[in-house]
Structure 1
Amino acid sequence: MESKRVQNSREKKIKRKEVLGKKKAIDEVIKAASAEKDHLASFPPFRQYERNGLSAYLESGSGEQLSSTRKRYIQNLLKVNMEGPYGPEWATEEKVKRREMVAPEARYIFVRESSNASTNEVSSTREGNSTCSHWMGDGDPIVGFVQYRFIVEEEIPVVYVYELQLEPCVQRRGLGKFLMQLIELIARKNHMGAVMLTVQKSNLLAMNFYTTKLRYMISTISPSRVDPLIAAEKSYEILCKAFDCEAKSKLEENGYLGEE
C-alpha cells in the first residue's frame, strides 16, 4: 500500500509539473506577443490598402498611448456603429468599452485615408466634404480601427478582437476582410491557437460577414453552446477561427454556421 501511495504521489507531482510547465509556456507566448510594439512590421504589404476606390494606410497603436483626440474618435465611432445593435444595453456597454479602450494590453491598428485619395467614386457619400470621417485631429483622417488583445481562453493562447469598427462610408469595400486577414496573420506569427471575437445577435450583417465570408464558428464558450437556456438571455455570440487541432477541439467542435 505504501508503494502505491508513493507512486500516486509521484504521478500527481509529475502531472502538476506538466500543467505548470504548459501554463508557463503559454504565459511566455502571450508576454512575447504583447511586447511587440508594431505587429504591422512583419507584414509590409498590409501597410497599404488600395482597392475599390479607397486609398488608405495602416498604423499601430496601444491603449496606454492613445491621445485624447483618438479616444474621442473611438468613442464617437463606437456610438455611431454600435448603439443600434446594443439597444437598451448601450448605456452600460459604452462604459465598459471606455475602460477596455485604454487598457495597457489593448493593441490597435488604425486605418488612415490617404490625402491623395481620389474622391470621384465616393462623392455621393461625402456630400461635398473632403472626407467622410468623424476624425477631428491632425493628419490624414482615420476611417476605422481594430482593437485586439493577446489572451488565454480554455488554456489556448488567442488573439481576441475586441473591436473592428469602420466609418459607414468605407464599409463594403473589402477593408474589413483585409483587416481580419491581417489579424489572422498576426495571430499565427505570434503562435496563437485561434482568433476570437464577440458579435451581437442583432447585428445580422456582422454575423453573416464573420460566419459566411470569413468562415468563423460559434465557439464552445459562447452562451448558446454552453447552455441554451442561459443563451436565451444573452444578446451575443462568441465566434472563433482555430488554427490547430488542440484549439479546434477546445474552442470550436463543429460550431460552424456559414453556408456551404
Structure 2
Amino acid sequence: MEAKRLHSSKEKKIKRREVLGKKKAIDEAIKAASSVKDHLASFLPFRHYDRNGLSVYLESGSGDHLSSPMKQYIQNLLKVNMEGPYGSEWRTEEKVKRREMVAPEARYIFVREAPKTSVDDMSSTMEGIATCTNWVGDGNPVVGFVQYRFIVEEDIPVVYVYELQLEHCVQRKGLGKFLMQLIELIARKNRMGAVMLTVQKANLSAMNFYTSKLRYMISSTSPSRVEPLIGVEKSYEILCKAFDEEAKAKLEENNYIGDG
C-alpha cells in the first residue's frame, strides 16, 4: 500500500512538472512573439500588394506607438465599417475598441497606398484619396489595417485578430485574403497553434469570407458551442483555424458550420 502511494505521488510530481514545463514554454513563445518589432521582416514578398487594380504596401505598428492622426483614422474606419453590424451595441463596443486600440500588446499591419510616379498615376491617386480614404496624417494614405495579439486560449498559444478593417474602395480585390494569409504565416513562424477572431453574426459578408473562402471553423470556445441555448442569443461567433492536432482538439472539437 505504501509503495502504491509513493508511486502515485511520484506520478503526480512528474505530471505537475510536465504541466509547468508546458506552461513555461507557452509563456516564452508568447513573450518572444510579442517582442518582435516588425513581423513583416520575415515575409518580404508580403510587403507589397499589386493586384486587381490595387498598389499598396504594408508596414508594422503597435498600440502604444500610434500617432494622434492614426488613432483618429482607426476610430473613423471602425465606425464606418462596424456601427451597422453592431447596431445598438455599438456605443458600448466603440469604447471597448478604443481601449483595445492603444494597448501595448496590440500589433498592427497598416495598408498604405503605394507612391505614384507618373502624372496619370498621381491624378488617379488624388481622386482615390478624395473618395476612398479619410486619412489626414503624414505619409501615403492609409486604406486599412489589421490589429492582432499573441494570447493564450485553452492552453494554446494563438494569434487573435482583433480587427481586419479595409476601406470600401479596396474591398473585394483579394486584399483581405492576402492579409489573413500573412497573419497565418506570422502565427506559424512564431509557433502559435491557431489563428482566432470574433465575427458579428449580423456581418454576413464577413462570416462568409472567413468560413467559406478561408475555411475558418466556429470554435469550440464560441458561445454557440459552449452553451447553445444561451449562445443563440449572443450577437457573435468565435472562429478559428488550428495548425496542429492539439490545437484542433481543444479549439475545433465537435465542430460544424450551422446546418441552415
Does the aligned pair in 2 maintain the 1:146–1:161 contact within 8 Å?
A: yes
Distance (whole Å) between structure 1 residues aligned to residue 65 and residue 146 of structure 2: 15
Map 1:93-242 to 2 at 5 A.
93-116=93-116, 130=130, 132-242=132-242
Structure 2 equivalent of residue 30 of structure 1: 30
Distance (whole Å) between structure 2 residues aligned to residue 32 and residue 17 of structure 1: 22
Structure 2 equivalent of residue 85 of structure 1: 85
Does the aligned pair in 2 maintain the 1:212–1:258 contact within 8 Å?
A: no
TM normalised by structure 1 equals 0.94
Does the aligned pair in 2 maintain the 1:147–1:162 contact within 8 Å?
A: yes
Distance (whole Å) between structure 2 residues aligned to residue 6 and residue 150 of structure 1: 40
Does the aligned pair in 2 maintain the 1:215–1:256 contact within 8 Å?
A: no
| Structure 1: runs of 5+ lacking an equivalent | none
Q: Structure 2: which amino acid aligns with 1:68?
A: S
The verdict on how the C-alpha distance between 1:51 and 1:128 changes in structure 2, with shifts beyond 3 A counting, is closer
Q: Structure 2: which amino acid aligns with 1:16?
A: R
Distance (whole Å) between structure 2 residues aligned to residue 56 and residue 187 of structure 1: 23
Does the aligned pair in 1 maintain the 2:129–2:141 contact within 8 Å?
A: no
Structure 2 equivalent of residue 60 of structure 1: 60
Report the number of matched residues: 257
Task: Give runs of ≥4 in structure 1 deviating > 6 Å.
Answer: 117-120
Structure 1 equivalent of residue 15 of structure 2: 15
Q: Structure 2: which amino acid aligns with 1:17?
A: R
Q: Structure 1: which amino acid aligns with 2:31?
A: K
The DSSP-based 3-state class of the residue aligned with 1:50 is strand
Does the aligned pair in 2 maintain the 1:144–1:165 contact within 8 Å?
A: yes
- In the TM superposition, residue 127 of structure 1 has moved relative to its aligned partner by 6.5
Distance (whole Å) between structure 2 residues aligned to residue 117 and residue 165 of structure 1: 27
- In the TM superposition, residue 77 of structure 1 has moved relative to its aligned partner by 0.4
Paired-residue identity, % = 80
Q: Structure 2: which amino acid aligns with 1:214?
A: L
Structure 2 equivalent of residue 257 of structure 1: 257
The DSSP-based 3-state class of the residue aligned with 2:115 is coil
Distance (whole Å) between structure 2 residues aligned to residue 53 and residue 76 of structure 1: 25
TM normalised by structure 2 equals 0.94
Distance (whole Å) between structure 1 residues aligned to residue 99 and residue 116 of structure 2: 35
Q: Structure 2: which amino acid aligns with 1:242?
A: A
Deviations along 1:158-182, one digit per CA (max 9) or x if unpaired, are 1000000001111101100000000
Q: Structure 2: which amino acid aligns with 1:239?
A: L
Deviations along 1:130-149, one digit per CA (max 9) or x if unpaired, are 55111111110000000000
Q: Structure 2: which amino acid aligns with 1:208?
A: N
- In the TM superposition, residue 2 of structure 1 has moved relative to its aligned partner by 2.3
The DSSP-based 3-state class of the residue aligned with 1:21 is helix
Deviations along 1:94-144, one digit per CA (max 9) or x if unpaired, are 011011111111000000011318988x97xx8775551111111100000
- Farther-moved stretch of structure 1 (110-119 vs 19-28): 110-119
Distance (whole Å) between structure 1 residues aligned to residue 131 and residue 11 of structure 2: 65
- In the TM superposition, residue 200 of structure 1 has moved relative to its aligned partner by 0.2
